[in-house]
Amino acid sequence: MPKPKPLFVTERLSCRCWFLQDLQALAEVYGDADAMRWVGDGIAITPDECRNWLAVTENNYQTRGYGMFALEDRVTRVVVGFCGLVHPGGQIEAEIKYALKRKFWGRGLATEAARALLAYGANTHGVDYVIATTAPENAASHRVLLKAGMAKGQLRRDEDGSYTQLFEWRPAGSPNAA
C-alpha cells in the first residue's frame, strides 16, 4: 500500500495522515504508561482504544480537514510519534497535541514537529489561534511549547481541583499574536 502524501516536512520529519497500518505504532506510543503520565488522565490506552481513535481521527479529517497525524523519520520512514490539532470535547479552540516513542525523546523532534504543525494549521487551514494544555509540573512540554513559539498563559483550576497550564499561539502578524 503506498504511503499517504506528506502534509508537511521538516529537516528530519515527514508528517502525514494516519492509516490502519499505524495501529502498532499508536499502541507503542499511547500504550506506554511512562510516556502517557502527562497525557489526559495519565493512563495508557488499549489497542482497542487506539483502533477507535483511528476512526475518530478519520472523521476529523472529513469534518475539519485536520486531526492527529503520524510523524515519520524522513530517512528511515519509521513512525517516531504523532502530532495534531484537535478539539477535545468539542472545544472551540484548536489544541496542539504530540507524543513520541520514548526512544526518540530528547532530540528536539517534538519542537520541530510543533513549529511545523502550527505553521501548517495556519497556512493550510486558516487556524489563527491554538492552545496547548499541560500539567504545571511538565517542564519538558513547557520547553517544547515555548521553543515552538507558544506563549505561556494562565494557570487554570480544573473542576477536580487540579491545575492546568495554558499556552497560546497566534500566527505572526495576526492581532494579539504571541
Please, which residues have CB within 8 angstroms of residue 125's CB and are 6 or more apart in sequence?
64, 65, 66, 85
Confidence class for position 3, pLDDT limits 50, 70, 90: low
- Does 57 map to a domain? yes
- Does 72 map to a domain? yes
Per-residue pLDDT tens digits for 44-62: 777 788 888 888 899 899 9
- Does 177 map to a domain? no
Neighbour count for residue 159 (Cβ, 10 Å): 5
Mean pLDDT computed over every residue of the chain: 88
Confidence class for position 5, pLDDT limits 50, 70, 90: confident
Per-residue pLDDT tens digits for 117-155: 999 999 999 999 999 999 899 999 999 999 999 999 999
Look at residue 116 in the predicted model and tell me its pLDDT: 97
- Does 75 map to a domain? yes
- Does 32 map to a domain? yes
| Start-to-end C-alpha separation, the chain | 42
- Does 62 map to a domain? yes
Q: How many domains does the chain contain in total?
A: 1
The length of the chain in residues reads 178
Look at residue 9 in the predicted model and tell me its pLDDT: 96
Confidence class for position 2, pLDDT limits 50, 70, 90: low
Host domain of residue 83: 8-169
Which CATH number belongs to the domain containing residue 130 in this structure? 3.40.630.30
Confidence class for position 22, pLDDT limits 50, 70, 90: confident
Residue 165 has pLDDT above 70, yes or no: yes
Tell me the torsion sign for CA atoms 149, 154, 159, 160.
positive
- Does 13 map to a domain? yes
Parallel/antiparallel/unpaired status of strands 94-100 and 68-73: unpaired
